[in-house]
Structure 1
């Protein structure tokens, strides 16, 4: 079944531009409401969370109208992290959960992510069926069966208590100074409060959202300010989240940055030592560094790769019965605790390891030497198909030939932005730069 609305993580785009318009959000809400409303099963509920983007008000209202028009009762959580929606959907016995967020994208973008009644993101098949309903239109509820909407004031606090419950009993963060950069996003209150309540001395960055500054030169995609703050304040650790707080990048006490691969390496090794790592397997995407795979292999552990997107990581984890996975970009998924990536929850697991071992972040955050990896993005206009152009195909074929036996190449369209991502890995950094730059030049020429 074709998919034109849904990408790798729900529906996403520039606010007030197709498909992210109020009219489309209303139609999507009605279609999702009709799909998840199970006749004869009593009350039908959906929980809606959002990040701090200005357009969130518009989409929250439009989705509510569409959902209530099909008889769904809507529970509005306000600004909460994406994993809070995954937690609260089954906890509140909802038929559906929705998060309004474009994650790490700039403020002018927004998106709509869906969670099923089990708290997990929807499959491609279900999203395609909802998309078909959007195209066909759905029957509306009778006037007396229109749904209701109300604000839920304690959703954030329920989530915060769940996060704290994953921290080892009897352990505290007293004496540890933590810089937390919330990207002016959904966790701007949640993350500092959880860390402070666990005993940490908290220095806040990116906790003054104004609707337009989410992810702007802050958060997991721009860790420079947080790194400088860690050094300036003599902090023990820096925690960088993205706009909806499902990603984590760490900064050690020297200001050095550690990505999701390094965090997963630490956790996989620790969990394996405690016999907690299911089947000795970590799930990650094709973007994860070859160094991570070598690190795991040296310890008798296995890396299961998936296509890019934390949703695909989770689907593989559920199929294989594995309990730890994630992405180099910072999604860390621990299905023992959560149904999706949770940056704050992963951060406090790292902090617990600092307390348990007495080691500084610089000793824990770098577990393997990464193979040189280069990633460049090329933006293209809507409707263009640069990867189908003959010069681009020729450049890719040439690069693959040159890397044979020396490295690997990955070319893909972003599922969340109009970007072609060109990534290569190779021990020979000169060759690495040549092949990536060659492909980028051809894609750029085709994309104008």
Structure 2
């Protein structure tokens, strides 16, 4: 057990393989109790939520056992979007919140995200301390006496609490007269999301609301927003909304059924918030994966752009450090810090719908604020993750591309933080140039690292 447990978004892996095992979950429960419990009211409380993977039962039970054995009271909220767990952790004054999810990964995977009492994901420093306890690098904790063993409860009104919070962030805006397609990806939002939009008055066409433990993200949801787009066309709807497995991300389709990129959503939200005086310091935070077209659109509209490394936690850290109110990722994470401590797909959809209503405009019209550079993205499976600086052929190609592109394009090559994949992004004013360079980079990677089947998505 010498390998690091925590990645860019908690602990994640294949179920029943280290570290996603019942044994590790038990030790993690004990470690969280030791590290995050503090004095004060309710500081022995921990919330546990999960998405709809069948393995959630196993991890929930094991982690609960570890927590109660150390004197913590556990409140289980069942299937709940990740941002719902973050919100409830803070509103209930709990010591920690735990979300069992592997987000957009298939059901064979699962993961563990941990929130502190402020509703934010715990820091790297706290992760490191917890990790040392799990791996046995710290002395074993003395068990609590029998009279101090904690209790486990199920919160029946958890959904209702989050539903009212989400609607309140959009001032309970009326959606009467709007027809929306909502694809929940058979994930954590399968019950909550359609209900919220219906309660606000929208006519809702649903998809992906029949989880069976193994169909999460399977050909549906944010990974396949074209499905919602097709339903938009078929039902003559105004908008398509697609969530990933834990509903912290959202992908939109316009009234023509066309998928709207996350960067376009970032652009239209930033502009609307600036006009409303809500965009603090007139600054948007995005990641290195955002399209060059977003930067150009923001410059034209007097909005500064701060760039962070990939990952919603990195975006949030940059926002907190700079005192900014809006940021996100092209992948669909949108963070409205006035309301939430993490990416929230449902809240984001409500904010976009509110902007459409305020401006009496379609999503396609609002999204036309920017034009994207053509791009190609390759997700290349790799057997391991050697330092890119140790790959001379790839390193030489990267330098050559930078020189040839100048201001006409860019490339970004990085390892996934949650999967054994090397992500290769190339943007250029000429799509053929982008395609050519993705092929060159992929060939070098095959030669120097080795790979399985590669999948290229782009436009």
TM-score above 0.5, yes or no? yes
When residues 188 and 40 of structure 1 are mapped into structure 2, their CA distance, relative to the original with a 3 A threshold, is closer
Counterpart for residue 5 of structure 1: 5
Counterpart for residue 116 of structure 1: 116
8 Å CA contact 2:42–2:94 kept in 1: the answer is no
Partner SS for 1:125? helix
Q: After the TM superposition, which of the residue ranges 427-436 and 85-94 deviates more from structure 2?
A: 427-436
Partner SS for 1:447? coil
Counterpart for residue 125 of structure 1: 125
When residues 253 and 33 of structure 1 are mapped into structure 2, their CA distance, relative to the original with a 3 A threshold, is same
Are 2:151 and 1:148 equivalent residues in the alignment? yes
Q: After the TM superposition, which of the residue ranges 176-185 and 21-30 deviates more from structure 2?
A: 21-30
8 Å CA contact 1:183–1:241 kept in 2: the answer is yes
Structure 2 matches for 1:175-254, cutoff 5 A?
175-254=177-256
When residues 408 and 237 of structure 1 are mapped into structure 2, their CA distance, relative to the original with a 3 A threshold, is same
| Distance across 2 between alignment mates of 1:40 and 1:288 | 42
Q: After the TM superposition, which of the residue ranges 183-192 and 134-143 deviates more from structure 2?
A: 134-143
Counterpart for residue 294 of structure 2: 292
When residues 209 and 442 of structure 1 are mapped into structure 2, their CA distance, relative to the original with a 3 A threshold, is same
Counterpart for residue 86 of structure 1: 86
The runs of 5 or more residues in structure 1 that have no matched partner are: none
| Distance across 1 between alignment mates of 2:263 and 2:361 | 20
When residues 75 and 436 of structure 1 are mapped into structure 2, their CA distance, relative to the original with a 3 A threshold, is same
Counterpart for residue 104 of structure 1: 104
Deviation of the 1:125 alpha carbon: 1.6
Counterpart for residue 326 of structure 1: 328
8 Å CA contact 1:86–1:340 kept in 2: the answer is yes
Q: After the TM superposition, which of the residue ranges 429-438 and 200-209 deviates more from structure 2?
A: 429-438
Deviation of the 1:386 alpha carbon: 7.2
- Choose from 146, 160, 164 the match for 1:161: 164
| Distance across 2 between alignment mates of 1:310 and 1:221 | 17
8 Å CA contact 1:284–1:303 kept in 2: the answer is yes
Counterpart for residue 454 of structure 2: none
| Distance across 2 between alignment mates of 1:314 and 1:384 | 26
When residues 434 and 40 of structure 1 are mapped into structure 2, their CA distance, relative to the original with a 3 A threshold, is same
Deviation of the 1:90 alpha carbon: 1.2
Deviation of the 1:145 alpha carbon: 1.7
Residues 343-376 of structure 1: per-residue CA shift (max 9 Å, x gap): 1111111111222222222212332001122211
When residues 108 and 28 of structure 1 are mapped into structure 2, their CA distance, relative to the original with a 3 A threshold, is same
8 Å CA contact 1:386–1:447 kept in 2: the answer is no
8 Å CA contact 1:90–1:117 kept in 2: the answer is yes
After TM superposition, the score normalised by the length of structure 1 is 0.96
Deviation of the 1:389 alpha carbon: 3.3
Residues 47-76 of structure 1: per-residue CA shift (max 9 Å, x gap): 010000011111111111111122111100
